[in-house]
Chain A
Amino acid sequence: MIRRLFWRYCLAGFLCLLASLPATSIARSFDDIMESGYITVAVYNDFPPYSFKDNKVPRGIDVDVAAQIAKNLNLDVRWMWITADENLEDDMRNAIWKGHIITRKKADLMMRVPYDHKFSYAIDGYGLPKNEMVVMFGPYHRESWAILKDTQKTNNIDTLAIFQYEKIAVEIDSLPSFFLGATIGGRLRDNIVHSESIYKAIDLLKDESVAAVSGMRSQLEWGMPDVGSRYTINATGLAAISIKSWDIGMAVQQDFRQLAYAVEDQITLMVDNGQMQKIFDNYKVTFEPSSLYQESH
């Protein structure tokens, strides 16, 4: 099927450039990977608690999950640290199907790729599939939006109304930024503090310059591990945000399905035998299984 789609795109002109890529960037097959004894895994740079370097040692939930998969498959892991581009489509292009813009290097497997049928099978403005170069699979986590609040400042008021009076920090160009900027007729806008990163936003909470931070639950838990009685982390107030939670899986290049099946088997195994829970516990982050496993367990 991929060939047919490829040529259809070629007729439309867009992806013809692919045909001219040098041979080095051709995807490795499952057999190539097993024979070589290693797998190259793409993880985001500087993205705790999912993937980051701790004194040059790769750490994080995604790092540990990928390392365990490789171990189970008797493979060494080589990391490809990627810088996030403007959206997921760009990241998948850079990491797994077209290759890095400068080095042309690609990974065999990419971690922390949302697993969403609507997204996987989305069509573009011309009625053609948008993401046909990759296959997204193997959900191992369910991420969600939450608000970390300093209850001394919010006075235990749990509705968004308090942010007409108190400041709330968000990461710039994030969904909470969009949502909080638009909700209640835009009345919270003047009290939204935009930070370059969620951890800078949490620092603002720690030094009491804001009353709350909105971001991904895992990052809030990692950034404020000892909430005690003063701080709370929950999704109260975010009922109207367009996507409240979403599954996180992996991606490989489209003609790599055999690898995807092998990796997916390891995820199921790790969820079943408690290894997944243990990895999240190590980072003091709540393990919320993907909706796939919530249904089957």
Chain B
Amino acid sequence: MKSRKISGQLLSTALGLTLALGMLSTNTHAAVTDKDILNDQKTTDDVVSYGLGPRGQRYSPLDTLNTDNVKKMHPVWAFSLGGEKQRGQESQPIVKDGVMYVTGSYSRVYAIDVNTGDELWQYEARLPDGIMPCCDVINRGVAIYDDVVIFGTLDAILVALDQKTGKVRWRKKMGDYKAGYSSTAAPMIVKGMVITGVSGGEFGIVGKVEARDAKTGELIWTRPTVEGHMGYLNGKENGITGGEANKTWTGDLWKTGGAATWLGGTYDPDTDLIFMGTGNPSPWNSHLRPGDNLYSSSRLAIDPDTGKIVWHFQTTPHDGWDFDGVNELIAFDYKDGRKTVKAAATADRNGYFYVLNREDGKFIRGFPFVSGITWAEGLDENGRPIYKEGGRPGNPADSESGEKGETIWSVPSFLGGKNWMPMAYSQDTGLFYVPSNEWGMDIWNEPVSYKKGAAYLGSGFTIKPIYDHIGSLKAVDPKTGELVWEFKNTAPLWGGVLATAGNLVFTGTPEGYLYGFNAKTGEIVYKFNTGSGIVGSPVTWEKDGEQYLSVLSGWGGAVPLWGGEVAKTIKDINQGGTVWTFKLPRS
């Protein structure tokens, strides 16, 4: 059901106020341009991209809020996403010209007056009965461009809405939901194009990256992420991914090879490259597909003009642990002596933190960011994992006796040393703030298993904590691998991080707390209970000389879907769906 609402009166009141107060923005509802998006990190009066800038550093130069005054920060309004559909609010707000755009679970979008917290309009996608989204009904946010708001739905439709009214301007199908395609990531704008990935790797689809004209939705290029599939540019063949089929696969499995691009990507204007991560290969049983299985569990650098892969870096060749390689690759520069290194960093599901040369994808260094990794002994000089003997889950087909197979203790668990939740990079401290989880899994072959009326061989697993805590926010030095500070949290961390020039780092916890930390020391300088678990990503912006901070609260996502000992840490957390907005009181 679509429900749209425009409150003209409220809108005009808001605009009137805005003009009267002489806000920094020169005009109201100015069309969002590529320049606005490229400068997002510098322009503190808006947030027009996922990640506060195309590189996704999640760093704001705002320093009004600092470690001394942040304790006085208090809520100015809270906005309920309403209804019975309160679960898994993983969205990052976008703020432009006095309006905030957020997505809610079940493919909903809201426009909110940032002065009052009033709803301006709401759009609810009509979802077909037959959709089967993996891992909860979440959405991570919108992209804005020109005068539209663009987001992806659980049934894999890319929808552009009029910024003022919430009315549909165009809709494009990214894949057939009946084949398993879905979409939950925030789209990205690069050079007037909207760049998207797809979810659904568990169902044997092939991942792809697509570029569409952001104004019309017309497809410009498509780049499959599995070796052997043809890419297209302006409707014409544009080269086979990886050159030819089956160099690193077995049999015909490349045809259904997974490598879903379900978390979207980042863009580095400096090298003019799109960085996109890919998910695990399909089928999950790695013993059926000997080989590296390119480009699964990889980071791809793609030329935005042609849709061609410029370089790739595979974090987990021949994955057998469900280590998606989708986590964000963040461009940053650092000094090595006098030389500026054009680097990019990522904290992988597999428990290793990688620093790459972002011009050519060459490995600079890597180190574990969680403890007790079992599947690899380390990384070699090219960053390729050195597999540990006995660290790979067994072949299900070996359990012919019908008995439970041998159990393997594997760290990290398949939910990863770090999952989807984006880390932040502070330009002041030079540190990455990584929302990680310390957990492992017992994994075994499950011979008594069924799938759609048929006997099957599944794998059984139980996720277990390693310490008394699971969540661990870590301040990591990318130049040395040094752990500068750590904040331990009982429940798994599942929300994004934000760093500011006020020497602050913010993140939320499933227990419902929005935390502020001293970026240098890790000291807790702010704590506020939002009433439900935080699995969204905070943003900060400025209005009338005051610094605001917003975050969604609403427990959900993949963690509550899995049981066992992890569940003990989250058993008292209630559902929710609220946008919280904070600022310092005027003195």
Contacts and interface: CB of A to CB of B under 8 A. Distances in A.
Interface string B161-197: 0000000000000000011000000000000000000
Interface stretch (B216-224, B397-405, B498-506, B513-521): B397-405
A191 B251 contact: yes
Interface stretch (B129-137, B206-214, B345-353, B465-473): B129-137
B450 A119 contact: yes
A178 interface: yes
Contacts of B204: 172-173, 196
A162 B402 CA distance: 27
A250 B82 CA distance: 37
B564 A126 contact: yes
A148 interface: no
Interface stretch (A42-50, A253-261, A266-274): A42-50
B568 A182 contact: no
A20 B572 CA distance: 12
Interface in A177-205: 177-179, 181-183, 186, 189-194, 196
A120 to B, nearest CB: 10
Contacts of A228: none
A16 B560 CA distance: 10
Interface string B383-404: 0000000000001111110100
A242 B400 contact: yes
Interface stretch (B282-290, B332-340, B425-433): B282-290
Contacts of B567: 12-14
A160 interface: no
Contacts of B285: 178, 181
Contact of B250 (A116, A175, A190, A242): A190
A196 to B, nearest CB: 7
A84 to B, nearest CB: 4
B256 A194 contact: yes
B137 A179 contact: no
B462 A44 contact: no
Interface string B559-578: 01001110111110011000
Contacts of B312: none
Nearest to B461: A125
B130 A83 contact: yes
B542 interface: no
Q: On chain B, which size bracket covers the interface? A: 35 or more
A236 B158 CA distance: 49
Contacts of A124: 460, 462, 563-564
Given A45-B130, A100-B129, A87 B458 contact: yes
Contact of A189 (B131, B288, B457, B569): B288
Contact of A13 (B283, B448, B454, B570): B570
Contacts of B397: 178-179, 181-183, 242
A149 interface: no
B202 interface: yes
A157 interface: no
A44 B130 CA distance: 11
B72 interface: no
Which of A83, A113, A173 has most B Cβ within 10 Å? A173
Which of B251, B395, B460, B569 has most A Cβ within 10 Å? B251
A10 B397 CA distance: 35
B270 interface: no
Contact of A88 (B178, B395, B451, B569): B451
A101 interface: yes
A50 B447 CA distance: 24
B563 A14 contact: yes
Given A175-B454, A175-B456, A194-B255, 5 more contacts: A12-B571, A13-B571, A125-B461, A177-B288, A242-B399
Interface of B: 84, 106, 127, 129-134, 137, 178-179, 202, 204, 250-253, 255-256, 282-283, 285, 287-288, 290, 395-400, 402, 442, 447-458, 460-462, 560, 563-565, 567-571, 574-575
21 contacts: A12-B564, A13-B570, A44-B453, A45-B130, A47-B453, A83-B132, A91-B452, A101-B132, A101-B137, A102-B106, A119-B450, A126-B564, A126-B565, A173-B283, A175-B457, A178-B396, A194-B255, A240-B400, A242-B399, A243-B402, A243-B447
- Give 3 nearest A-B pairs by CB, closest first: A125-B462, A13-B571, A182-B397
